[in-house]
Amino acid sequence: MTDLMPALEAIVRDAGALMRSAFDAPERPAYSLKGQQDYLTETDGAVEQFVRDQIARHFPGDGVLGEEAGGALDAARLWIVDPIDGTANFARQIPHFCISLGLMVDRQVVAGAIYEPMHDELYIAQLGRGAWLNGKRMRVSTVGELTAATVEVGWSTRIPVATYLDMAGKAAHAGCSVRRAGSGSLGLAYVAAGRTEGYAEPHINAWDVAAGLLLVTEAGGQVNDFWADGGLRVGNQILATNAALATQLSVLTSIPLMP
Ligand code: IPD
Ligand code: CA
């Protein structure tokens, strides 16, 4: 397969520039709530439209699934975009958000990029070609003890509070440092970059993870079979981990990993 990374990089960098200029504008971005704690700004829609236009221009005929405008799922070549992952952070002027863009071909993610515009960090991967952070090869961490591990446990109002607290509590009782930074995509990118040892969440959507799953596996980590049981359509639970803690984190979260 041809090198898809230059095209991906160009799209997410330009999308990131749109986000950054909205973030840096004198007025705080106006937001509405799609539901409890589910933020939406004008920039989410504008960035998604920009990405759709770029894909139509450079890859005519490909399908697009986006967080804001949806899309048909049956295309053999399907781009999956979260225009702003971490929208609550973006709306609150917290500089921890990103765009996530992945390409699935015949139901397999073959390329993905996450761009975090406020720190100019580009995480990018292509199947069999490795995962890269600003041009440097990424590898998952080698930490093999839960008492030295940092694990992010994601949260949303889509699942009962008790389910989230149970997962986070088990990680904390096992000795992990538990964090929640509000962007599942960046949570996965951090595992790939070796900044944290794991990311787990009881339910997350395809646009949050399409790129990040590939980043983690190309960086030598392990993930669950997110795409099983209709993950593309309705989301799924997720676990991404370094290799050294794979078994322990799988047992702790009760989420089976792929070999
Ligand atoms: C959310 C974030 C959050 C994760 C949720 C997502 P949004 O996406 O990634 O960290 O825990 O599951 O829905 O609303 O910021 O695009
Ligand atoms: Ca998201």
What is the 3-class SS of 184-221, one letter each residue?
HHHHHHHHHCCCCCEEEEEEECHHHHHHHHHHHHHCCC
The whole domain housing 211 covers: 146-253
Decide: pTM greater than 0.95: yes
CA 194 to chain centroid = 15
> In this structure, are strands 177-179 and 150-153 parallel, antiparallel, or unpaired?
parallel
Q: Are residues 150 and 133 in the same domain?
A: no
CA R_g for the chain: 17
- Claim to verify: residue 8 and residue 131 sit in the same structural domain: yes
Residue pLDDT tens, the chain, 259 long: 899 999 999 999 999 999 999 999 998 888 889 899 888 889 999 999 999 999 999 999 999 999 999 998 999 999 999 999 999 999 999 999 999 999 999 999 999 999 999 999 999 999 999 999 999 999 999 999 999 999 999 999 999 999 999 999 999 999 999 999 999 999 999 999 999 999 999 999 999 999 999 999 999 999 999 999 999 999 999 999 999 999 999 999 999 999 8
Report d(CA 32, CA 151) in Å as an integer.
30
In ligand 1, which atom is closest to the CA atom of 208? 9
How many angstroms does the Cα of residue 219 sit away from the middle of ligand 1? Answer: 23
CATH no. for residue 202? 3.40.190.80
Considering only CA atoms, which residue is closest to atom 15 of ligand 1? 86
Q: Pick from 112, 137, 162: which residue ends a domain? A: 137
Same domain, 165 and 106: no
Q: Which of 85, 163, 209 to mutate to test the pocket of ligand 1 (most atoms within 8 A of CB)?
A: 85
Indicate the number of domains in the chain.
Answer: 2
Q: Distance from the CA of 157 to the center of ligand 2, in angstroms?
A: 13
Is residue 258 in some structural domain? no
> Residues 114, 220: one domain?
no
